[in-house]
Amino acid sequence: MNYKTLLLSVSLNFLLVPVFAQGDVAKAFSFAGKQTTVLLKEVDSAKLAAANPALVSPRNTKPDGSLGMINSKDWCSGFFPGELWFLYEYTKDAKWLQPAKAFTANIEKEKDDATSHDVGFKIYNSAGNAYRLTRDPHYKDVVIEGAKTLSKRFNPVVGSIQSWNSRNGWKFPVIIDNMMNLELLFEATHLTGDSSFYKIAVAHANTTMKNHFREDYSSYHVIDYDPANGQILHKQTHQGFADNSAWARGQAWGLYGYTLCYRETKNKAYLEQAQKIAKFIFSNPNMPADLVPYWDFDDTAIPNVPRDASAAAIMASALYELSTYSPANAKNYKATADKIIKSLGNGYQSKIGENHGFLLLHSTGHKPAKSEIDVPIIYADYYYLEALLRKDRLAKHKPVVIR
């Protein structure tokens, strides 16, 4: 190749690579827009059929093939409003604004529900995104109220937020998923200047880092504490294959959680934790070639077990962010996330008009309870769109997370 041809080829690559990369995201959002239009119609029909106005958000496909609708209290009620906000964010098309506002309003009362840690998932993904994109002060108040509610579940003796109420013999169960809810607390400190939310989030992250993780940086799902003295009573993996196994979504929650904790605190210990979790996940011999994990890395029946596309989507979204904090691993993390997104787009997307308008197939919710096995689940779609937005921002040299 002579000098001129080389120069031409380099400049063409420079011009074309981002355009092609953008093509993937644009295509996926165009698909998501079409499917979500279907889902909005299906939600209306399901509400009419059930004659139950309390069923406000879609969650899954039920075993009989019908659309699974949930009330606002369900831990998954904030994901669909969040998806509508993501569609609005990417397309800037006002047609998403009205449903985004309406589905967010439907679950707003959850800001006061102190009966589980899930107020974080519900309020941050709906009102948190709404505030980020509109700056309407009403949403700011909802986020702050939600954070106050979540803070009530913090026990300073344990140094953690209690995830679930006492049941199943647990006294003070804390689940790895709870790491995700810290984002609501960090946001409330940004919005109010009150550092008490931040301090609770940091204490929870530190206690979880100490007690949930094994030597190989895989994590247990549930640590049950004695609330009177903070002693550990049980270490379990309630939603996984066995107590000592690595439940795929739990590993994804940990990866995402410590990445966001590093973003908010710049504490290197959180960055290292996220990197070690990433290493456990992506060097695991049971990770399939397409990087969409089996539902549990240690199921002894692998490869004849279901995948969890939701875990893959959460991992991709987390990795795009982590790539911006880890210069030495940036290329590798981004390439891994790109590969997951490619896999999800090729083998895991629904056909347009099918599956009630859900985006991704093949998620697994709670296999031991024989619930939501290898089906579309709303949180897979939420984190898929979030990952796509992050991929897009990276390509446009914007901050990967926009508050």
* Residue positions annotated with a catalytic role: 118, 177
Which residue spans within 162-312 are E strands per DSSP?
A: 173-175, 222-225, 232-236
Which residue of the chain is nearest ligand GLY when measured via CB? Answer: 177
Which 31-50 residues touch ligand GLY, going by CB under 6 A?
none
Q: How far is the CB of 389 from ligand GLY (least distance, A)?
A: 21
Q: From CA 163, how far away is CA 152, in angstroms rounded?
A: 11
**Nearest Cα to Cα of residue 151 among 191, 171, 178, 130:** 178
Query: Is 378:70 a contact under the CB 8 Å cutoff?
Result: no
Q: x/- binding map, residues 166-205, to ligand GLY, per CB under 6 A?
A: -----------x----------------------------
Which 13-32 residues touch ligand GLY, going by CB under 6 A?
none
Pairing of strands 160-161, 173-175: unpaired
Query: Is 222:242 a contact under the CB 8 Å cutoff?
Result: no
| For helices 137-151 and 182-192, angle between their N-to-C axes, nearest 10 degrees | 120
Which 110-139 residues touch ligand GLY, going by CB under 6 A?
none
Residue 334 contacts by C-beta under 8 Å, 6 or more apart in sequence?
A: 319, 320, 323, 394
Q: Which residue in 58, 99, 146, 365 binds ligand GLY (CB under 6 A)? A: 365
State which residue, 164 or 217, has the beta carbon closest to ligand GLY.
Answer: 164
Q: From CA 38, how far away is CA 32, in angstroms rounded?
A: 10
Which 62-91 residues touch ligand GLY, going by CB under 6 A?
75
State which residue, 99 or 120, has the beta carbon closest to ligand GLY.
Answer: 120
Count of residues in contact with ligand GLY, rule CB under 6 A: 5
State which residue, 104 or 239, has the beta carbon closest to ligand GLY.
Answer: 239
State which residue, 248 or 274, has the beta carbon closest to ligand GLY.
Answer: 248
| For helices 182-192 and 248-265, angle between their N-to-C axes, nearest 10 degrees | 20
Which 209-268 residues touch ligand GLY, going by CB under 6 A?
239, 249
Q: How far is the CB of 121 from ligand GLY (least distance, A)?
A: 7
Q: From CA 198, how far away is CA 219, in angstroms rounded?
A: 23
State which residue, 75 or 198, has the beta carbon closest to ligand GLY.
Answer: 75
Chain residues that interact with ligand GLY, rule: CB under 6 A: 75, 177, 239, 249, 365
